[in-house]
C-alpha cells in the first residue's frame, strides 16, 4: 500500500521499526504512530505524513520516564534534543515494545565512541577495499562516493557503494550493533563548520588518540633532499603509503597487525612523486626531494630529533 512508510533520504537505512506512540512535552495526550529509527533520524509517522522527526545528531540525552499509555503504566523514553538554526530544542516522549532495545540502538547511533581499537577490529574483518574505505573515513570523517571509488580504484561508483552496503555496514552491525557508515545529503562538519553535501560519514564520536605512544624520528636536511629515518616493525616498503601536504607527510600502513600512522613536519616542502624508501633492520629510510626554493640551502647536513606522536 502506498505511503506505508515515509520517504527516506538517499543512503538512509532503517535500524528499527515498530508501532507505538509519541508525545511532545508541551502537548497533551499520546499520538499513535509508526516509529522508525534510521541511521539519520528518529521518525514518528502517521500515514500519509511525518508527525515528528529529529536528526540523530541533535539528540543529547536519553532517560526513562513512567507514564500511562493505553490505560497502563509503562516505561517511555524521554529524548532531549538541542536547538538548531530555525528549530528549537526540547524533549519528546516515545513509547513502544522493547524500549530497552530502542534506547540501546539510539545510544549507539548518537553516542557510540569510535576509537583506533574499534577501527582495527573492523579492519581485521574486511577485505582490502573495505579497509581502505574505513581507514579513509576514520581519518577524514566524510567523503563523496567518487572519492571512495578513486581510493580503491573501483571500476565504477556502484562497486564502492556495494562495499559499504554489503560488506562494511553488515559487519559493523554484527560488531557494534549498528551501521558504521551513513550517507547524508547535508551535514555540518563539527570540526570545521563547513557544510558537507552528498557524502558518506562515519557515525559516532571519534575518540582522540592519547599522546602516550611516541616514536623517535630523525629528519636530516642534505642539500636538495630530506632524509627521514624511523623505526618500524613488521612492514615492508610496499605496505606503506605516503600522503603529502606541502611540508608535511603522513606515513601510514593498514597492514593487519602492523598499523602505523605518523605525521611528520618537514623543514621544507617536498615533491609528492619524487622519493624513495627502503627498510633495513626494522628502520625505514626515506629520501624526499625538496621543492625548488629561490634561495640557497644551508650548507651541510643538519640533524633534528623529533618526538612524533602517532596519529
Average pLDDT over the chain reads 84
Level-2 CATH architecture, domain 214-309 = Sandwich (2.60)
Q: How confident is the model at residue 112 (pLDDT cuts 50, 70, 90)?
A: confident
- 282 DSSP 8-state letter: T
The answer, yes or no, to whether residue 308 has pLDDT greater than 70, is: no
pLDDT at 209: 44
Is-contact 14 178, C-beta < 8 A?
A: no
Average pLDDT over residues 178-203: 83
Is-contact 22 99, C-beta < 8 A?
A: no
Q: How confident is the model at residue 212 (pLDDT cuts 50, 70, 90)?
A: very low
pLDDT at 109: 81
Identify the weakest region by mean pLDDT among 69-78, 231-240, 254-263: 254-263
pLDDT at 154: 95
The answer, yes or no, to whether residue 310 has pLDDT greater than 80, is: no
Average pLDDT over residues 185-190: 75
Q: How confident is the model at residue 305 (pLDDT cuts 50, 70, 90)?
A: very low
C-alpha cell at 78: 524521554
- 307 vs 65, residue with greater confidence: 65
pLDDT at 136: 87
Q: What ranges in the chain are assigned the alpha helix state H?
A: 99-111, 116-124, 128-140, 145-151, 157-163, 169-176
pLDDT at 301: 47
Is-contact 247 265, C-beta < 8 A?
A: yes
Separation of alpha carbons 229 and 182, rounded Å: 39
Is-contact 251 259, C-beta < 8 A?
A: no
- pTM attached to this predicted model: 0.54
Average pLDDT over residues 89-99: 92
C-alpha cell at 167: 560488506
Identify the weakest region by mean pLDDT among 177-181, 253-257, 266-270, 303-307: 303-307
Location of each CATH 1.10.10 domain in the chain:
113-206
- 113 vs 299, residue with greater confidence: 113
The answer, yes or no, to whether residue 118 has pLDDT greater than 60, is: yes
Q: What percent of the chain has pLDDT over 90?
A: 42
**Cell 609528492 belongs to residue:** 272
When the candidates are 1.10.10, 2.60.40, 1.10.3210, 1.10.357, the CATH number that belongs to 113-206 is: 1.10.10
Separation of alpha carbons 28 and 11, rounded Å: 35
The answer, yes or no, to whether residue 213 has pLDDT greater than 50, is: no
pLDDT at 89: 81
The answer, yes or no, to whether residue 23 has pLDDT greater than 60, is: yes
> HSE (CB half, 13 Å, CA atoms) of 189?
16
Location of each CATH 2.30.29.30 domain in the chain:
14-110
CATH says 14-110 is which class?
A: mainly beta
Location of each CATH 2.60.40.790 domain in the chain:
214-309
Amino acid at each position: 500500500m502506498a505511503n506505508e512508510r515515509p520517504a527516506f533520504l538517499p543512503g538512509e537505512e532503517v535500524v528499527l521499526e515498530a508501532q507505538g506512540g509519541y508525545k511532545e512535552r508541551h502537548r497533551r495526550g499520546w499520538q499513535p504512530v509508526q516509529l522508525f529509527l534510521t541511521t539519520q533520524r528518529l521518525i514518528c509517522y502517521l500515514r500519509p505524513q511525518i508527525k515528528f522527526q529529529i536528526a540523530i545528531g541533535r539528540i543529547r540525552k536519553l532517560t526513562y520516564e513512567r507514564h500511562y499509555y493505553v490505560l497502563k503504566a509503562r516505561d517511555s523514553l524521554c529524548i532531549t534534543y538541542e536547538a538548531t538554526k530555525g528549530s528549537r530544542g526540547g524533549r519528546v516522549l516515545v513509547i513502544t515494545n522493547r524500549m530497552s532495545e530502542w534506547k540501546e540502538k539510539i545510544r549507539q547511533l548518537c553516542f557510540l565512541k569510535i576509537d583506533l581499537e574499534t577501527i582495527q577490529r573492523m579492519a581485521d574483518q574486511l577485505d582490502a577495499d573495505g579497509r581502505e574505505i574505513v581507514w579513509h573515513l576514520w581519518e577524514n570523517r566524510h567523503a563523496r562516493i567518487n572519492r571512495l571509488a578513486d581510493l580503491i580504484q573501483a571500476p565504477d561508483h556502484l562497486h564502492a557503494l556495494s562495499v559499504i552496503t554489503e560488506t562494511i555496514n553488515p559487519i559493523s552491525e554484527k560488531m557494534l550493533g549498528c551501521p558504521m557508515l551513513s550517507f547524508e545529503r547535508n551535514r555540518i562538519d563539527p570540526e570545521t563548520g563547513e557544510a558537507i553535501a552528498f557524502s558518506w560519514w562515519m557515525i559516532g564520536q571519534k575518540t582522540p588518540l592519547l599522546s602516550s605512544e611516541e616514536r623517535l624520528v630523525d629528519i636530516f636536511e642534505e642539500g636538495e633532499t630530506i632524509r627521514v629515518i624511523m623505526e618500524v616493525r613488521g612492514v615492508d616498503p610496499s605496505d606503506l603509503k605516503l600522503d603529502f601536504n606541502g611540508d608535511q607527510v603522513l606515513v601510514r600502513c593498514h597492514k593487519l597487525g602492523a598499523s602505523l600512522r605518523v605525521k611528520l613536519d618537514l623543514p621544507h616542502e617536498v615533491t609528492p612523486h619524487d622519493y624513495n624508501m627502503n627498510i633495513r633492520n626494522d628502520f625505514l629510510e626515506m629520501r624526499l626531494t625538496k621543492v625548488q626554493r629561490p634561495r640557497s640551502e644551508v650548507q651541510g647536513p643538519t640533524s633534528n630529533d623529533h618526538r612524533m606522536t602517532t596519529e
